[in-house]
């Protein structure tokens, strides 16, 4: 029985804090329109799948395109979108990855108007640590409305 095959276990307090701060920074990049910085939170070959999209985005180029398209749509409608990740559970795996499960909410506010709660999802990520930074290797987002 080597470390590679040991059972999974909880993350450390350091990892839990880092991952929560990473999620805050990562989604803030997207919400503030910094698509490249958001995309850099995925590995080069990262996968971003959503149950409301037929095919997963594979790799940073495809993920960046998705991000830019979403932001263009919001800009056209004059909306500020905020992604809230919370209720994070996280588990270390023997291969060095961390598997997270979390809830995600989206709120939208029109410039000069009244904000609204937009939708609720769940997320499941496989995270890896590279050069002192957490990166998303695989993300699956499932919208509650279509679960």
Q: If binding is defined by CB under 8 A, does position 73 make contact with a second copy?
A: no
Least Å distance, CB 59 to a second copy, is 26
| DSSP 8-state secondary structure symbol assigned to residue 52 | T
Nearer to a second copy, 12 or 61 (CB): 12
Q: If binding is defined by CB under 8 A, does position 38 make contact with a second copy?
A: no
Q: How far apart are CA 39 and CA 82, in angstroms?
A: 17
Q: If binding is defined by CB under 8 A, does position 48 make contact with a second copy?
A: no
Tokens describing residue 73: 């749509």
What is the helix (H) or strand (E) element at residue 74, kind and residue range? helix 60-77
Q: If binding is defined by CB under 8 A, does position 11 make contact with a second copy?
A: yes
Q: Which contacts (CB < 8 Å, 24+ apart) does range 142-146 have? A: 142/50, 142/51, 143/50, 143/51, 143/52, 143/119, 144/119, 144/120, 145/119, 146/51, 146/52
Least Å distance, CB 104 to a second copy, is 10
Least Å distance, CB 45 to a second copy, is 26
List residues binding a second copy (CB under 8 A).
10-14, 16-18, 20-21, 23-25, 27-28, 80, 82, 84-90, 101-103, 105, 107, 109-120, 144-147
């Amino acid at each position: 029985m080597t470390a590679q095959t040991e059972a999974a276990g909880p993350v450390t307090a350091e990892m839990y804090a880092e991952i929560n701060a990473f999620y805050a920074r990562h989604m803030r990049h997207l919400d503030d329109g910094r698509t490249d910085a958001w995309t850099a939170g995925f590995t080069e070959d990262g996968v971003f799948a959503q149950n409301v999209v037929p095919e997963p985005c594979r790799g940073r180029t495809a993920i960046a395109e998705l991000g830019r398209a979403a932001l263009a749509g919001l800009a056209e409608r004059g909306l500020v979108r905020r992604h809230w990740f919370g209720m994070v559970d996280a588990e270390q795996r023997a291969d060095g990855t961390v598997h997270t499960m979390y809830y995600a909410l989206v709120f939208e506010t029109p410039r000069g108007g009244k904000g609204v709660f937009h939708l609720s999802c769940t997320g499941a990520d496989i995270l890896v640590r590279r050069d002192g930074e957490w990166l998303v290797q695989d993300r699956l987002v499932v919208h509650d409305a279509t679960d």
